[in-house]
Structure 1
Amino acid sequence: MVKDIKVAIIGVGGVGKAFVSQLYNYIEKNASTVSISVVYIGRSSSALISTDYSPLRLTPFVAEEVDKTGTDPLSIPDLIKFLKASGSETILVDNTSSIELANTYPDILSAGIHIATPNKKGFSSEEKLWNDIFAASGNNGGKGGYVFHEATVGAGLPVLSTIRDLVDTGDEITKVEGVFSGTMSFLFNEFAPVVGSESPKAFSDVVKVAKDAGYTEPDPRDDLNGLDVARKLTILARLSGLSIASPTSFPVESLIPKPLESVATPKEFMDGLPTYDSDMGLISNEARGEGKVIRFVGSIDVPSKAVKVGLEKFEYSHPIAGLKGSDNIIAFYTKRYGDRALIIQGAGAGAEVTAMGVLSDVIKIIARIK
């Protein structure tokens, strides 16, 4: 029997467009076993809505079509009603970073609608929202919809599925450590490479290169404040069994010079950053004098319940020191693996790999639908 699935997609930016393309290919390849109809594609200002539940066209220009021919987007209560009225199993794919949408996850799941998302906000904000989401879901045998969020940490890397497998099979996680930001990985691999340079680069120059290449947010302070890494650590710590109130409830080192925290524009920030190059240079030189390099990492020590984000020194031979480009690396230390960590490494950012993580969650949901 062919499964009948209706899908709503919110968010058609970089990740959203990549997801639509990958979903189209998946639908084409699996038409004999599952019937997937995308019946809603929306963004904050407009939406395409299939009022008769026939499948919308999935094209490379879906974002432009939403803007040009879309109508007013449905409110979440109305979207729930619309999806429930289809009479089919339904999946909402949230490709946004909206906390407002994440706040509605418990209502969506309670209505029996499944969720796949790379949106970190719902899983890394206040602990009550985390608890409410999973209490409303069907993940642990409940009656609500399933919710999967693999791409919230490490994009397409199997980070969350690995930690869940470790916990579910009874292993004891003692420590998690790694580079969780593609932006921060690129910055420090360039600024403090293992192979020394006779003319070390200024930190501000490396930030400019990263910004111009699209590695940073439009305002680099959104990366340099460490909050993105803190959100990912919050998710992993909670999956490890720790109670984490919020991503600001543990030490998070910001690399934004104090005087530049409140400047009005990204340009003012970038113009002012060279003034503080010597500060970062001193830290790097001190590490190099010890035969080490600095990297921006997050760590979780489960027995002591210690979570922190910031700069750390690593020997040249350490796997974290040897990263290339914008790769992520996550090391799991557990009772079973002992001193030899289980390491996951690879591209941890980018639209294509993030969309892959979201699609893999959609596939997991479909497999669980009876």
Structure 2
Amino acid sequence: MAVAACRAMSEKTTQLAVGLVGPGVVGRALLEQLRVESKNLLSKYRVDLQVQGILNSSQVILGKEGQPIDLDAYGDQLLASSADASLGVLTQHLRDSPLPHKVIIDCTASAYVPQFYRRWMEQGIHIVTPNKKLNSGPLAEYLAVKQLQKAGRAHYMYEGTVGAGLPIISTLKSLLDTGDEVQRIEGVFSGTLSYIFNTLTPGKTFSSVVSGARRRGYTEPDPRDDLSGMDVTRKVINLARECGNKIELSAVDTESLVPEPLRKAQSPQEFMDSLHEHDDVMAARVAEADEHGEVLRYVGSYDAESGVCQVLLRRFPKSHPFANLSGTENIISFTTLRYSNPPLIVRGPGAGPAVTAAGVFADVVTLARYLGAPS
């Protein structure tokens, strides 16, 4: 009866069994958005999103007897769970669901979880993710997943990998799909580094600004993860590959902002305690830029003609769009045949759990429309 009822309902609605991996800050924000908006999606757009599984690194909860998980109480259930917490268990549970469509949302920053993407897509399970590791990882794995998508095995949605909730990937795809030719992409891709260099003015020290960003929760627990520039590098590679460039991570010229002596500090706190010893180097760069009427911005770029990707701390006139950001704003500039003077610019909030979750949520809704839900 349950299967028959689901089939009858599916004639009127687009139903998705959802498995979420990584209920961290972004995952929790997404689950809250799903909890609040699920009834509206069902009544307005006939999209029925049923969260059937939630998995963290050591625990899992699964919907019982085809019923979705209660999103008002999943936190306590997850803490109390003693079930086998594995991606295999979650995968099998989704496969057993009577709902016609299945999607796994990867909200981790793990390099391990994307190793399952191909396996999931081969089984017809769609993927939505803000995780950058697949798109900027080994080229062969990236191309294999894209080929499965092209072959129609399953949809792979990843808007949140570059601009959190900003429409960066979709904008680039629209340009390419309509025959435009990308010449250059550049921008401030890190909300954390945007905040740091929007705040770092003459008279302020680099260490105090980084410390302030950390207190506000803008940095990773270890600020070196932001200051290394690797997050920006992965985003730039993602965009370059979207344009057809087969670049590997190791080929990108990335400037680390972590002082060389502190790269092997034993802990984040040891790093922060010693960062002030290197303030003079950054202070000199800030002062020199200011003397020339310029500011410092940490920018990633892709030049289509040369195929070169760079991630560097650069100087810009105070009149430049990159110089007039505030807070954690991102800004990305697309120079193309159609948009050259001025280029096409996308600007807005580039960090925060709610913003990133909203970008993931939008991908899930877009997926539902691809699967037949009305616009």
TM over 0.5: yes
Hey, what's the Cα distance between the residues in 1 that align with 2:169 and 2:81? Answer: 38
Q: Provide the residue aligned with 2:35 in structure 1.
A: 24
Query: Which residue number corresponds to residue 102 of structure 2?
Result: 90
Match of 1:204 among 202, 207, 215: 207
What's the counterpart of residue 143 of structure 1?
Answer: 152
What is residue 8 of structure 2 aligned with on the other side? none
Matched, 1:186 2:195: yes
Residues 266-345 of structure 1: pairs in structure 2 closer than 5 A: 266-345=268-347
Question: What does the per-residue CA deviation read over 1:105-152, in whole Å, with 9 as the maximum and x for residues that have no partner?
Answer: 011011000011111111111111110111122xx3x23110101011
Of the three residues 131, 134, 144, the one matched with 1:119 is: 131
Question: How far is the alpha carbon of 1:82 from its aligned partner?
Answer: 2.4
- What residue in structure 2 maps to residue 39 of structure 1? 52
Which position in structure 1 is the counterpart of 2:115? 103
In 2: Cα distance, 1:307 partner to 1:277 partner: 28
- Normalised to the residue count of structure 2, the TM-score between the two structures is 0.93
Shift in Å at residue 70 of structure 1?
Answer: 5.2
Equivalent residue pairs, number: 358
CA positional deviation for 1:4? 2.4
Deviation at 1:35, TM superposition (A): 2.6
**Uncovered stretches (5+) of structure 1, i.e. residues with no partner:** none
Could you tell me how far apart the structure 2 residues matched to 1:322 and 1:34 are? 40
Q: CA deviation digits over 1:278-303, x for unaligned, max 9?
A: 10111111111211111111011111
Between the aligned residues of both structures, percent identity stands at: 39
* 1:218 Cα deviation after fit: 1.1
Q: Is the 8 Å Cα contact of residues 3 and 35 (structure 1) preserved in structure 2? A: yes
1:52 equivalent to 2:65? Answer yes
**CA offset digits 1:287-345 (Å, max 9, x no partner):** 11211111111011111111100110000000101110110000111100122111111
The one-letter amino acid paired with 1:22 is: Q
Distance 1:3 1:325 in 2: 39
Once the 2 structures are TM-superposed, how far is the Cα of residue 51 of structure 1 from its aligned partner?
Answer: 3.9
CA distance in 1 between counterparts of 2:224 and 2:16 reads: 41
Give the letter for the 2:291 counterpart. Answer: G
More helix by share: 2
- Unaligned stretches of 5+ in structure 2? 1-11
Alignment partner, residue 173 of structure 1: 182
Cα RMSD of the aligned pairs, angstroms, is 1.3
Which residue, out of 75, 78, 88, partners 2:87? Answer: 75
CA distance in 2, matches of 1:304, 1:179: 21
TM-fit CA distance, 1:53: 1.7
In 2, Cα distance between the equivalents of 1:43 and 1:242? 34
Q: d(CA) in 1 for partners of 2:42 and 2:284? A: 59
Q: Does structure 2 retain, via aligned residues, the 8 Å contact 1:127–1:245?
A: yes
Distance in 1 separating the partners of 2:80 and 2:38: 25
Partner Cα separation in structure 2 for residue 136 and residue 70 of structure 1: 35
- The one-letter amino acid of 1:79's match is L
Conserved? CA contact 2:298–2:311, under 8 Å: yes
Distance 1:309 1:51 in 2: 48
Residues 325, 279 of structure 1: alpha-carbon distance in 2 compared, 3 angstrom cutoff: same
Q: Give per-residue Cα distances to partners, 1:85-109, cap 9 Å, x unaligned.
A: 2232101111111111111101101
Tell me, yes or no, if the aligned pair for 1:12 and 1:63 is still in contact at 8 Å.
no
User: Secondary structure in 2 aligned to 1:153?
Assistant: helix
Three-state SS of the structure 2 residue aligned to 1:21 is helix
Deviations 1:258-292 (A, max 9, x none): 11111101111111111111101111111112111
CA distance in 1, matches of 2:340, 2:256: 32
Which residue does 1:352 correspond to in 2?
A: 354
What is the CA distance between 1:245 and its match in structure 2?
A: 1.4
Q: Which residue of 2 aligns with 1:244?
A: 247
Q: Tell me the SS of whatever aligns to 2:277.
A: helix
- The letter of the residue matching 1:205 is S
Judge conservation of contact 2:22–2:55 (CA < 8 Å) in 1: yes
Are 2:206 and 1:224 equivalent residues in the alignment? no
CA distance in 2, matches of 1:173, 1:15: 31
